[in-house]
């Protein structure tokens, strides 16, 4: 498979998963309205939910990068602090056709990096001191190209939308399930009871399905960033070698980064949390698979 085919397949898969997310969200709204006894044609709740999502997107998202930096203790670098790293990032930014992102560093022996920001003009890349000190130039270029691809492809925004869907579905489902206990006792006709049961089961399962979709989108965007990064450097072996070094350090248990939680671990090039026994519950694809794909490019 060529790089273009790899990127195209990943992008199509992401679109398909977001369509599935939208269908699931609509089903949850329908089930919620059925549970609280309001006609599904009633638009008030849908309008208010969309408004809530827009407020979250417009207010919370622009401030999220600073919150993440505060949690991880990252500090901003100036060009005089590390001209070597700035030259690499600057060249890759030109190649990717995006503005030069700000560069931050985390004091940690773990080998990791991530990118964040609401759009390319307000983007930033973060790298640990462990990764900065352990990689050679080709490996460092591979990692930074991966992060530049996340910025160029608006992956951060995609994951925000996925997270908003997940939060909205979880919130609506929770309210819907709780409202069952407040239904009138006399509203228990046979047909109504069956619809109620199906709606409640749907509301219970929806957050679980939503979480699986969000994780699948995260894994898919990692594959896409690997392929786009390899296209940017024209040297997939650089990123593959970097991932191998990261894998070796992870095997030693050297992966802890202060301030990382379930809401932020999908940002990193390698999941700093403990490996999940089930691939479906992982934010990242198996690193062995990522390395194998890069070696075939």
3-state secondary structure of 76: strand
Q: Please tell me the distance from the alpha carbon of residue 82 to that of residue 125, in angstroms, as a whole number.
A: 14
Question: Tokens 């490019």 appear where?
Answer: 297
Contact between 289 and 220 (Cβ < 8 Å): no
Buried b (16+ CB within 10 A) or exposed e, 195-224: ebeebbebbeebbebbeebbbbbbbbbbbb
Name the catalytic one among 147, 249, 256, 258: 147
Question: Tokens 């003009």 appear where?
Answer: 121
Which is it for strands 75-76 and 102-106: parallel, antiparallel or unpaired? Answer: antiparallel
According to DSSP, residue 268 is labeled B
Contact between 219 and 162 (Cβ < 8 Å): no
3-state secondary structure of 269: coil
Element (H, E) at 291: helix 287-296
Contact between 269 and 146 (Cβ < 8 Å): yes
Tokens of 115: 């990118």
Q: Please tell me the distance from the alpha carbon of residue 114 to that of residue 10, in angstroms, as a whole number.
A: 20
- Annotated catalytic residue 147: yes
Q: Could you list the active site residues? A: 147
């Amino acid at each position: 498979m060529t790089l273009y085919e790899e990127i195209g397949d990943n992008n199509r898969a992401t679109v398909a998963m977001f369509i599935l997310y939208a269908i699931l969200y609509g089903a949850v709204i329908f089930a919620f309205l059925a549970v609280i006894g309001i006609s599904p044609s009633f638009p008030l709740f849908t309008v208010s939910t969309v408004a809530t999502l827009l407020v979250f997107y417009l207010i919370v998202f622009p401030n999220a990068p600073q919150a993440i930096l505060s949690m991880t203790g990252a500090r901003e670098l100036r060009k005089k602090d590390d001209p070597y790293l700035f030259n690499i990032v600057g060249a890759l930014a030109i190649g990717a056709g995006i503005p030069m992102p700000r560069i931050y560093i985390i004091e940690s022996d773990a080998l990791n990096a991530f990118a964040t920001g609401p759009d390319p003009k307000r983007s930033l890349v973060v790298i640990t001191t462990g990764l900065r000190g352990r990689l050679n130039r080709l490996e460092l270029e591979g990692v930074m190209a991966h992060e530049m691809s996340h910025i160029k492809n608006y992956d951060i925004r995609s994951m925000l939308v996925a997270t908003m869907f997940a939060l909205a579905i979880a919130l609506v489902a929770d309210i819907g399930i709780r409202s069952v206990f407040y239904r009138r006792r006399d509203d228990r006709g046979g047909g109504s009871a069956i619809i109620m049961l199906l709606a409640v089961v749907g509301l219970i399962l929806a957050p679980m399905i939503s979480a699986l979709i969000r994780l699948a989108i995260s894994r898919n965007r990692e594959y896409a960033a690997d392929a786009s990064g390899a296209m940017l450097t024209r040297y997939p072996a650089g990123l593959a070698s970097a991932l191998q070094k990261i894998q070796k350090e992870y095997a030693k248990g050297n992966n802890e980064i202060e301030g990382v939680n379930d809401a932020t671990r999908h940002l990193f090039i390698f999941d700093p949390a403990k490996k999940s026994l089930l691939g479906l519950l992982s934010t990242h694809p198996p690193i062995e698979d990522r390395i194998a794909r890069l070696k075939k490019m």
